[in-house]
Amino acid sequence: MGLELVEINHLHKKELKQFIQFPFDLYKDHPYWVPPLWADEYDMFSPVHNPVLQHCQLKLFVVIENNVVKGRVAGIINHRENKLYGKSKARFGWYDVVDDPAVTELLLEVIETWARQSQMQEIEGPMSFTNLDKAGLLVEGFDQLPTMATMYNPPYYATHLESIGYTKAVDWIEHELECPTVLSERFIKFNDILKEKYNLHTIQIRSKDETTKYAYKMFELINKTHRDLHGFVAFEPEQVKLYVRKYSRILKPEFISLVADAHDELIAFGIALPSVSKALQKAKGRLFPTGWYHLWRSLRHNDRLDLYLIGTDPAWRNKGVHALIFYEITSAAIRHGIKKVESNPELETNVQVQLLWKGYEYRQHKRRRTYQKTL
């Protein structure tokens, strides 16, 4: 039998299981693939758990040969994004394939046809629903372990896309930083000067309840600070609830840095988390029976830290406030014996963020890319 294209109903659990299962088979025992949690994948495609589906169209497809899945892809139309930017753009995501260009061609062709029929004029991917979801094809750093927030793929993914007319849309770069063993006197002094000059202070989170409370304030800042980033769409209250519920259970207060002004208003924040990549590999996508233990242990005993989000109120940019964020996170990292820090993806054009690493020994070790095509 030849290649067979099959549409997946995301509301049908048995069909969706086939879609989710494919990368687990494709990357079984791969040293650099970090599996997602099955529960999170199911929730992502559930209108009950993922409010973004209220304003997004979704199509899922797999390619099957001899009763074996050979590839998968999702097509997404985010109507809020298109309305905000005045575009007619579709997204593709959850793109995973064996090394057969015919599989990629078949998958992308059906998504492109669907997008054209929906009056879309361009397509970009791999992307998910929002800017906090995984995006970008790995194009450099194939021998590096991804963070929980990123994807892994071999080099042939990009080769397949380029062979059918896809070109670079944007790149994100990632850095690995050496964590110092002590804070420099210069860093300590600069931290004190900033606080005194602008009458700023840091807020110490001491419980999970406080984490949840400030999480909502952090999302208010995200909507302000990220609005100029590529494809960003402000988060609605229901989406915020989803992410707060999803991540507050694993965030560690000591790695959350909050900076407030004289009126106790939040003006900047940073969130980091001990790396859970190896724990997720051991969990193999399941919290039970032992996955939860691997995650718990990695959060308590680790020498690697992942930076996830940094935000500064636009009114406070270019005043060095980010130094206060890194003072707190670096101090916590030193106390916990952290040796390496991962930056997670930042747009290659985001010079302001890249300047943050100048105070550390660092290297750029990964690059991700979304691809685009005119329809």
Q: What is the predicted pLDDT for the residue at 18? A: 98
pTM equals 0.94
Of 356 and 60, which is predicted with more confidence?
60
Instruction: For residues 255 and 309, state if they share a domain.
Output: yes
Report CA 23 to chain centroid distance, whole Å. Answer: 18
Dist CA 253 CA 268 (whole Å) = 15
Q: What is the predicted pLDDT for the residue at 37? A: 96
Instruction: For residues 115 and 133, state if they share a domain.
Output: yes
Report CA 202 to chain centroid distance, whole Å. Answer: 26
Dihedral sign for Cα 101, 103, 106, 112, please: negative
Interval 299-344: pLDDT, tens:
999 999 999 998 899 999 889 898 999 999 999 999 999 999 999 9
Helix locations, the chain, DSSP H: 13-26, 38-44, 79-85, 101-117, 156-163, 185-198, 208-225, 237-247, 277-283, 291-300, 322-335, 351-354
354 is a domain residue: no
Q: What is the predicted pLDDT for the residue at 284? A: 97
99 is a domain residue: yes
Dist CA 208 CA 192 (whole Å) = 28
Q: What is the predicted pLDDT for the residue at 354? A: 84
Instruction: For residues 99 and 164, state if they share a domain.
Output: yes
The mean-pLDDT minimum among 46-55, 122-131, 245-254, 360-369 falls in: 245-254
Strands 304-312 and 340-342: parallel
Domain total of the chain: 2
- The mean pLDDT of 362-367, rounded to a whole number, is 96
CATH of the domain at 190: 3.40.630.30
What's the whole-number average pLDDT of the chain?
A: 94
The packing angle between helices 208-225 and 237-247, to 10°, is: 130
237 - beta bridge partners? none
Phi, psi dihedrals of residue 136, rounded to the nearest 5°: 90, 130
- The mean pLDDT of 235-255, rounded to a whole number, is 85
Which pair of tokens denotes residue 96? 């995973």
Instruction: For residues 42 and 119, state if they share a domain.
Output: yes
Q: Is 351 exposed, middle or buried (0-12, 13-18, 19+ CB in 10 A)?
A: exposed
Burial 68-88 (b: 16+ CB within 10 A, else e): ebbbbbbbbbbeebbeeeeee
pLDDT band, residue 235 (cuts 50/70/90) = confident
**136 CB-near residues (< 8 Å, 6+ apart):** 126, 127, 150, 151, 171, 172, 345, 368, 369, 370
What is the end-to-end Cα distance of the chain in Å, rounded?
31
Instruction: For residues 223 and 166, state if they share a domain.
Output: no
Instruction: For residues 237 and 164, state if they share a domain.
Output: no
Using the predicted structure, report yes or no on whether residue 229 has a pLDDT greater than 80.
Answer: no
Q: What is the predicted pLDDT for the residue at 356? A: 81
Report CA 10 to chain centroid distance, whole Å. Answer: 22
Instruction: For residues 136 and 273, state if they share a domain.
Output: no
Q: What is the predicted pLDDT for the residue at 206? A: 82
Instruction: For residues 71 and 213, state if they share a domain.
Output: no
70 is a domain residue: yes
**17 CB-near residues (< 8 Å, 6+ apart):** none
Using the predicted structure, report yes or no on whether residue 47 has a pLDDT greater than 90.
Answer: yes
Instruction: For residues 304 and 200, state if they share a domain.
Output: yes
Using the predicted structure, report yes or no on whether residue 248 has a pLDDT greater than 90.
Answer: no
Q: What is the predicted pLDDT for the residue at 211? A: 84
- Domain of residue 261 covers 180-338
Using the predicted structure, report yes or no on whether residue 165 has a pLDDT greater than 90.
Answer: yes
pLDDT band, residue 6 (cuts 50/70/90) = very high
Instruction: For residues 118 and 229, state if they share a domain.
Output: no
Dihedral sign for Cα 14, 244, 271, 220, please: positive
Using the predicted structure, report yes or no on whether residue 159 has a pLDDT greater than 80.
Answer: yes
